[in-house]
Amino acid sequence: MPKRIIPLSDMKVQKAKSKDKTVTLFDGGGLFLMVTPSGGKLWRFKYRFEGKEKKIAFGAYPEISLLDARKSRDESRRQLAQGIDPSAARKVQKKAITQEIETFELIAREWHSRFLSTWTTRYAETIMSRLERDIFPWIGKIPIAEIKAPELLAVLRRIESRDALDLVHRIRAICGQIFRYAVVTGRVERDPSVDLRGALPQPQQKHRAAITEPKKVGKLLRAIDGYQGSFVVQCALKLAPLVFVRPGELRRGEWEEISFENAEWNIPGSKMKMKEPHLVPLSKQAIAILTELYKLTGSGRYLFPGRTSQRPMSDNAILAALRNMGYAKDEMSGHGFRAMARTILDEVLQVRPDFIEHQLAHAVRDPNGRAYNRTSHLAERKKMMQTWADYLDGLKADAKVIPFKSVKR
């Protein structure tokens, strides 16, 4: 049987004496104390990596206590379990400290703070939590100039192994932004993340449930008119197909953003996905809904307040209402009103695609490659929104509707 190692104690380490040759006292887990003939007491950690035996010096006693040495041993064993050579990791860390080389984590946090004011609080927290959980533990301490495509790929493979394919692509994109920031600030020569395109499997495309067949849309609109729940939620359901903004933009709408006089909803860039202000022309039908809603919630901040007037209704309110009306999660979603409008405006009403995309607040550019501003094609979009509202009224009344693709361009 192998000899059982009895862990060291503070008293045993303190009383350890030197002899004519070096004495080795084992603590377990690869940690041991070397007592030299001159009286020095040196901590060492022995391990195997890729079949080779290696050693790391943790420092001398009493500057490094038994507790400190054990912490260093445990950290090294954790690195080994993750496929990292502790010796190589320590060399990189020492190099970063002694030569003041800028590490990936240092540059990433600098990049994050530089752009913090352009993001929502929630988005900023999401980015940092992803970096702290999935990137910094592996390459955070490595000088950013030394990280090449293979090192970055190895880290992303860990995320891929969890079948988090959508997340791995999002994090690759975040890393790409950090590297590009490092390029323009003179820290690195190029962005290695571009070399990983095609190296990671793509996630399966997930389409949000949406009703896009005109007759079924009419049935949904009649169901909304007969909704027996909260009046505020019913108004949100009625307005959603008329404005087809994102669910978060709808539920966080504020009265100060609504202009009854101009029949417009001006959404500030801070609430938009693309961080650009967005203008929504309001049809006569939309104005009628808001006029009735104002009588109930107009004294507060939000169009659709939640349980208190200080907070908007929950992001689950519209989904729950759809389920209560009998629409399954694979049949219709809050986001589905956007797909409904996009599909029918294009395929049935034959509206110009760039008008539709602009009203959906997607990135649309003019022939010279410049982004359209919020008022681009405003007259045409106002006409489109009124035509759309009138068309929905026809569907709700079960009038004769234009079949899909009945008109050729």
Mind listing the pLDDT tens digit for each residue in 301-349?
999 999 888 899 988 899 999 999 999 888 898 888 998 998 899 888 8
**pLDDT beyond 60 at 371:** no
Predicted TM-score of the model (pTM) = 0.52
**189 within some domain:** yes
Residue 305: predicted pLDDT: 94
Read off the pLDDT band of 98 (50, 70, 90).
very low
Among 160-164, 170-174, 179-183, 210-214, whose mean pLDDT is lowest?
160-164
- Higher pLDDT among residues 354 and 142, named by residue: 142
Looking at the structure, do residues 220 and 168 belong to the same domain, yes or no? no
Cβ-based burial of 198 (10 A; exposed 0-12, middle 13-18, buried ≥19): exposed
**136 within some domain:** yes
Give the span between the Cα atoms of 253 and 234, in whole angstroms.
15
Give the span between the Cα atoms of 129 and 123, in whole angstroms.
10
- 116-166 per-position pLDDT tens digit: 887 777 788 889 999 999 999 999 999 999 999 999 999 999 888 888 888
Among 81, 112, 128, residue at a domain's last position? 81
Which tokens sit at 212?
Answer: 């896009």
- Beta carbons of 170 and 176 less than 8 angstroms apart: no
Q: Catalytic amino acids?
A: 246, 273, 335, 338, 362, 372
**319 within some domain:** yes
Residue 407: predicted pLDDT: 36
Residue 356: predicted pLDDT: 87
- Higher pLDDT among residues 108 and 23, named by residue: 108
CATH for 26: 3.30.160.390
pLDDT over 90, % of the chain: 44
- Beta carbons of 102 and 143 less than 8 angstroms apart: yes
Read off the pLDDT band of 44 (50, 70, 90).
very high
Residue 399: predicted pLDDT: 60
Residue 409: predicted pLDDT: 37
Looking at the structure, do residues 77 and 135 belong to the same domain, yes or no? no
Give the span between the Cα atoms of 46 and 34, in whole angstroms.
12
Residue 369: predicted pLDDT: 45
Residue 205: predicted pLDDT: 55
- 256-310 per-position pLDDT tens digit: 999 999 999 999 988 887 778 889 999 999 999 999 999 999 999 999 999 888 8
Residue 333: predicted pLDDT: 87
**183 within some domain:** yes
Looking at the structure, do residues 177 and 40 belong to the same domain, yes or no? no
Among 146, 161, 196, residue at a domain's last position? 196
Type of residue at 17:
K
For 192, phi then psi, to 5°, come to -70, -15
Looking at the structure, do residues 244 and 127 belong to the same domain, yes or no? no
Looking at the structure, do residues 62 and 138 belong to the same domain, yes or no? no
**191 within some domain:** yes
Looking at the structure, do residues 219 and 186 belong to the same domain, yes or no? no
CATH for 239: 1.10.443.10
- Higher pLDDT among residues 181 and 205, named by residue: 181
Pairing of strands 258-259, 52-60: unpaired
**pLDDT beyond 90 at 366:** no
Q: How far is CA 368 from CA 238, 363, 364, 372, in A?
A: 38, 14, 11, 10
**pLDDT beyond 80 at 179:** yes
Among 81, 116, 150, residue at a domain's last position? 81
Give the span between the Cα atoms of 258 and 260, in whole angstroms.
6
**167 within some domain:** yes
**92 within some domain:** no
Looking at the structure, do residues 224 and 317 belong to the same domain, yes or no? yes
Looking at the structure, do residues 221 and 298 belong to the same domain, yes or no? yes
- Beta carbons of 388 and 239 less than 8 angstroms apart: no
Residue 408: predicted pLDDT: 37
CATH for 154: 1.10.150.130
Looking at the structure, do residues 167 and 228 belong to the same domain, yes or no? no
Which residues form the domain of 33?
22-81
User: What domain count does the chain have?
Assistant: 3
- Higher pLDDT among residues 294 and 85, named by residue: 294
Looking at the structure, do residues 187 and 224 belong to the same domain, yes or no? no
Mean pLDDT of the chain: 85
**How large is the C-alpha radius of gyration of the chain?**
31
Give the mean pLDDT of 24-47.
Answer: 89
Give the mean pLDDT of 177-192.
Answer: 92
Residue 204: predicted pLDDT: 63
**57 within some domain:** yes
Looking at the structure, do residues 166 and 265 belong to the same domain, yes or no? no
Looking at the structure, do residues 147 and 31 belong to the same domain, yes or no? no
Angle at 350 between CA 216 and CA 240, to 5 degrees: 45
